[in-house]
Amino acid sequence: MGGAGGRPDFYVGLGLALASSAFIGGSFILKKKGLLRLARRGRVRAGQGGHAYLREWLWWAGLLCMGVGEAANFAAYAFAPATLVTPLGALSVLVSAVLSSTFLNEQLNVHGKIGCILSILGSTVMVIHAPQEEEVSSLESMAEKLKDPGFIVFAVCVLVSSLLLIFVAGPRYGRSNVLVYVLVCSAIGSLSVSCVKGLGIALKELFAGKPVLKEPLGWVLLVCLVICISVQINYLNKALDIFNTSVVTPVYYVLFTTAVMTCSAILFKEWQHMVLDNIIGTISGFLTIVCGIFLLHAFRDMPFPPDLLPLFLQQSRADLHASWRSVDRHQSCQHRPLLPSEDKGSQSAEEEEEEEG
Q: What is the pTM for the complete model shown?
A: 0.62
Q: What is the pLDDT of residue 322?
A: 56
Nearest to 191 by CA among 233, 220, 154: 154
Q: What is the pLDDT of residue 350?
A: 47
Q: DSSP alpha helices (H): ranges in 147-244?
A: 149-164, 170-173, 179-207, 216-242
Phi and psi torsions of 342, nearest 5°: -65, -30
Nearest to 249 by CA among 130, 120, 56: 120
Amino acid at 115: G
**In contact, 274 and 131? CB cutoff 8 Å:** yes
DSSP 73: H
Measured on CA atoms in the order 325, 327, 330, 332, is the torsion positive or negative?
Answer: negative
Q: DSSP alpha helices (H): ranges in 208-275?
A: 216-242, 245-268
Sequence ranges of the domains in the chain: 1-106, 132-273
- Residues of the chain below pLDDT 70: 1-10, 42-51, 53, 77-87, 90, 126-127, 130-136, 246, 270-271, 296-357
Which residues, 6 or more positions from 19, have their beta carbon under 8 angstroms from its beta carbon?
69, 72
Q: What is the pLDDT of residue 287?
A: 82
| 16, 19, 71, 87, 137 from 9: Cα distances, Å | 11, 15, 17, 18, 20
Q: What is the pLDDT of residue 168?
A: 92
Amino acid at 248: V
Q: How far apart are CA 348 and CA 346, in angstroms?
A: 6
